[in-house]
Structure 1
Amino acid sequence: MWYIAALLVVLSITLLQVDAAHMNHPSQHRIDLTPARQPHHKVVVAHFMVGNTFPYKVLDWVKDIRLASSKGIDAFALNIGSEPWQPDRVADAYRAAKAVSNSNNLLGHLSQPFKLFLSFDMSAIPCASASDGNLIRHYVDTYHAHPNQLTYGGQPFYSTFAGEGCTFGAGGLNEGWMNVMKKNPVTGTHFVPSFFIDPASFHNITAMDGAFSWNSAWPLGNTAITFDYDREYLSHLSGRTYMAGVSPWFFTHYAKNTYNKNFIYRPDHWLFATRWELLITQRDSIDLAQVITWNDYGESHYVGPIEGGQPNSQAWTNGFDHQGWLDLMHYYIIGFKTGKYPVVTRDRIFLWGRLSPAQANTPDPIGKPANYDITQDAVWAVVLLPTPAHIKLTCGPSIVSMELPSGRSKLSLPLTRSCSVVAVLYRRGKQVLAFAPKGYTFTENPSNYNFNAFVAASP
């Protein structure tokens, strides 16, 4: 059936080229994924860097949308900047989403259409003068009625990265954003930005219909992840929409003469899994969860395939595929949306971690990343089992051997010597799964400072 689906997608794209000029017309088929604050229905979106899609074609978007949808992701948050070519890629994304929806309908699939929304990157978009708002208003006007635009509370949904310093020529932040997002004659908006400000000031910002807590996705110090950051946001939102962040990793390694970003956030204690477990426990307080990210290779927290154009991050990204996290995330997404973890039907082992010691010294001219000394040398493992089993996780002299119950288990393996990682499952003394991921080799003497995660998932 794959070839039939592919032909239907191509047919849908051809039809879309005919009606692209009509995308500004209100749609009679807009689907609002979530009424406000309904604990039984949650939305999961993934942050998508449009800036890394310069070579993308429509079918590249189709491939990403199908993959994301298959893992339970409902929408992409399209991070857009000011480059002149980005509007064309955004148009392709919406065209692809509609094509996938059309092909699903033709095949009789009853799933929700995949959604998109714009996340304005205010670290790249100017916002000092009134005319600077024209770019944002143009995007809003263009896609507000698109059938694949994410809506919330009956209105098109929008977000930002930063923007707390924007005035758009008005007297302050609130007035500026009100002028841009709330006084548009074409449509209303549901505006949930990520402003890096004290949440206590939220009550003064009436332009906000809610808040996205970007930094809730990682511990910002030498601690394990908690829900404290989220609680601070929630305590000042007065029932407005809350979008929580969730991320597997953070490492960036740019020299001072480029982006001048060279640091890590603490990824230990199964960060991705632990964060999802917190969101599931607290799901009644959360409206949307945003995965950071689908494709930000420069900061090492991508979960999608490495494709498109990298932002000069090849030195720490090439060879470090992260798609093993997608299946694990699917398990947690089901738990977040339903409030109940899915029944495990087959053995799965998920492994990740760095490939060299945090304390290693290398000739890398960029130097060690800030916070290098707060992370542990370890393999982080999550195991899903339909029935109990015994696991033996090894790397050189390091061994962890234990009985595991059915369902989900987490374990870690300290690393001290150069070695290759191997995991073996046994039942009643017989080996039932041996997993030795190709490339998962810990090296005591690396050639550079690469704190990216190597991720592996058993078939």
Structure 2
Amino acid sequence: MNRRNLLKGLALTAMLPGRPALVHAQPSAMRYVFAHYMVAWPKGGPNASVDDYAAEFREAMARGIDGFALNCGGWSVSEPLYKARVLQMYRAAERFGGAFKLFVSADGKAQDELADIVRTTSAQKAQLKQDGKTVVSAYGLGGRDSGRCETLMREANGLGVWFIPHFSPSSGEATIGEEQAAEIAARSTSADGYFYFGAAAPPDVVARSTTLLSSTFKRIGKTLMTSVTPYYRGLSSGTNYRAFETGGFSGMAKEWRAAIDSGANWVQIVTWNDWAESTYVAPIGSALKARVYDARFGELLNHTAYLDASRYYIKWFKTGVRPAIENDALYYFYRLHPVDLATDLARAMTDPSAVPPRAATALTAQIHVTAFMTRRATLTVTCGANRAVFDLVEGVNEVSMPSAPGRPVFELVRNNAVVLQKTGEAEITRTDFSSAFNYFSGSL
């Protein structure tokens, strides 16, 4: 038997009549949307208060998000600040009377303290429960050690929790094909489901992976928690300076559609607040840019439009019905400088921020617009010497035009009357690379 067929056989073994299962999980009947929260970097800063956390929960709830997966790189023994902050967050969530749920996603050294994580969170009023059990997740379970990954899954099973971890297949997670999906399913025997982190991959790859994993986990009767990501770009000052082009919101929309069309059980927005990898959707407190948590993250650009444009898809995913568009809305996304190193090679020699990140596909120098239209209308976008006119139809529209120095102007006209009009908050320049290939977003 070849390796692919062997893995498929292992994945389906738990379904054979008369074979005892380690767990008796059923896929979740509820369609939840969570956001991945980096407990290391709260928006309120190192001394974030219960009020600060409650404000973040309120912002998430306003967009239809059901709760946060609390990424903890340590816990009580290794880095006690994680446990202290998590307890503050549970206190903050209690204010919402059960409407906002939390669960820990153990990362790194926190995986050595699963027992205390369970003891600490099980009795919390805001703890997410499934089948009466405390939900616990993980990122990179066991690291690259598949044996340790299996040991940790069995430990979680012995603790009586409802466990839905992320781990990478033996080939890595760049691409999830049929073989990788079968391997993941085979290794999930003692877990209740699987969390597909995605993020560091092009949207097409994330969407295909979601579709494959959703089909695979339906066959074995377990829950898939997949992911959607706005944009990924690591810090230029570190070793993870790479980017994955998402074409404004269109890449995230493609990932949402894959989750919806494939019938994935849960979705996790990756992330709420990873300032280091630019995957954040959290409002930063400014319509333009702000410094958040630590100066090493630089000036972060507004990403709120990724969150607000997702409301449509969140509702669609949770209800299973495409929502009616009741009001016109436009969301725009663009970079604030050129993307081609050759356009400013001399500057790049002296300014590291002008050097583009590693990218599998070319980064775009485009002004991207996602438009939710109640009826047909005409959109005109002008920026510097560039101008483009788009005929928009009822429904969701994705359009773009080449960027140019200046502040873009957006004008929506219907029946010869201006319906919406706005000038973008951020200026596009040829020389200011301080935003380091991040996307800026806004709305009207």
SS at match of 1:327: helix
* 1:365 matched residue in structure 2: 352
Determine whether 1:394 maps to 2:382.
yes
Residues 389 and 403 in structure 1, CA contact (< 8 A), matched pair in contact too = yes
Amino acid at match of 1:314: F
* 2:83 matched residue in structure 1: 87
Amino acid at match of 2:439: A
* 1:428 matched residue in structure 2: 415
- From 327, 338, 344, the counterpart of 1:346: 327
Do the aligned partners of residues 371 and 389 (structure 1) sit closer, same or farther apart at CA in structure 2, a change above 3 Å counting?
A: same
Determine whether 1:182 maps to 2:157.
yes
Amino acid at match of 2:197: W
Amino acid at match of 1:194: H
Q: Distance in 1 between matches of 2:96 and 2:110?
A: 34
Q: How does 1:20-419 map to 2 (within 5 A)?
A: 36-38=27-29, 41-53=30-42, 54-82=46-74, 83-101=79-97, 113-122=99-108, 125=109, 133=112, 135-165=113-143, 172-179=148-155, 181-184=156-159, 188-197=160-169, 198-202=180-184, 203-215=186-198, 217=199, 219-220=201-202, 224=204, 227-234=207-214, 236-237=216-217, 238-255=220-237, 259-268=238-247, 270-282=250-262, 284=263, 286-306=264-284, 310-317=293-300, 320-360=301-341, 361=344, 362=348, 363-365=350-352, 367-371=355-359, 374-415=362-403, 417-419=404-406
1:348-397 CA-to-partner distances (Å, cap 9, x unmatched) read: 11001211121143332364311186112111111112222111122223
Q: What TM-score do you get using the length of structure 2 for normalisation? A: 0.81
Q: Distance in 2 between matches of 1:332 and 1:236?
A: 23
Residues 218 and 266 in structure 1, CA contact (< 8 A), matched pair in contact too = no
Q: Distance in 1 between matches of 2:370 and 2:116?
A: 45
Question: Unpaired segments of 5 or more residues in structure 2?
Answer: 1-24, 170-179, 286-290
Q: Distance in 2 between matches of 1:254 and 1:396?
A: 29
Q: Distance in 2 between matches of 1:400 and 1:456?
A: 19
Cα deviation for residue 310 of structure 1 reads 2.9
Q: What TM-score do you get using the length of structure 1 for normalisation? A: 0.78
* 1:7 matched residue in structure 2: none
Q: Distance in 1 between matches of 2:258 and 2:214?
A: 15
Question: Unpaired segments of 5 or more residues in structure 1?
Answer: 1-33, 102-111, 128-132
Cα deviation for residue 172 of structure 1 reads 4.2
- From 401, 419, 438, the counterpart of 2:425: 438
SS at match of 2:52: helix
Do the aligned partners of residues 406 and 153 (structure 1) sit closer, same or farther apart at CA in structure 2, a change above 3 Å counting?
A: same
Q: Distance in 2 between matches of 1:405 and 1:365?
A: 43
Cα deviation for residue 228 of structure 1 reads 1.8
Number of equivalenced pairs = 387
Q: Moved runs in structure 1, 4+ residues, more than 6 A? A: none
1:113-172 CA-to-partner distances (Å, cap 9, x unmatched) read: 2100000112xx176xxxxx3x221111111132211122332211111023377xx964
SS at match of 1:419: coil
Residues 225 and 274 in structure 1, CA contact (< 8 A), matched pair in contact too = no
Cα deviation for residue 37 of structure 1 reads 4.2
SS at match of 2:96: helix
Q: Distance in 2 between matches of 1:136 and 1:146?
A: 16
* 1:20 matched residue in structure 2: none
Q: Distance in 1 between matches of 2:334 and 2:193?
A: 35
Do the aligned partners of residues 328 and 205 (structure 1) sit closer, same or farther apart at CA in structure 2, a change above 3 Å counting?
A: closer
SS at match of 2:358: coil
Of 419-428 and 355-364, the range deviating more from structure 2: 355-364
Cα deviation for residue 35 of structure 1 reads 7.1
Cα deviation for residue 405 of structure 1 reads 2.0
Do the aligned partners of residues 43 and 266 (structure 1) sit closer, same or farther apart at CA in structure 2, a change above 3 Å counting?
A: same
Q: Distance in 1 between matches of 2:110 and 2:412?
A: 55
* 2:8 matched residue in structure 1: none
Q: Distance in 2 between matches of 1:211 and 1:349?
A: 35
Q: Distance in 1 between matches of 2:362 and 2:239?
A: 21
Do the aligned partners of residues 153 and 36 (structure 1) sit closer, same or farther apart at CA in structure 2, a change above 3 Å counting?
A: farther
Question: Aligned Cα RMSD in Å?
Answer: 2.5
SS at match of 1:196: coil
Amino acid at match of 1:264: A
Do the aligned partners of residues 424 and 315 (structure 1) sit closer, same or farther apart at CA in structure 2, a change above 3 Å counting?
A: same
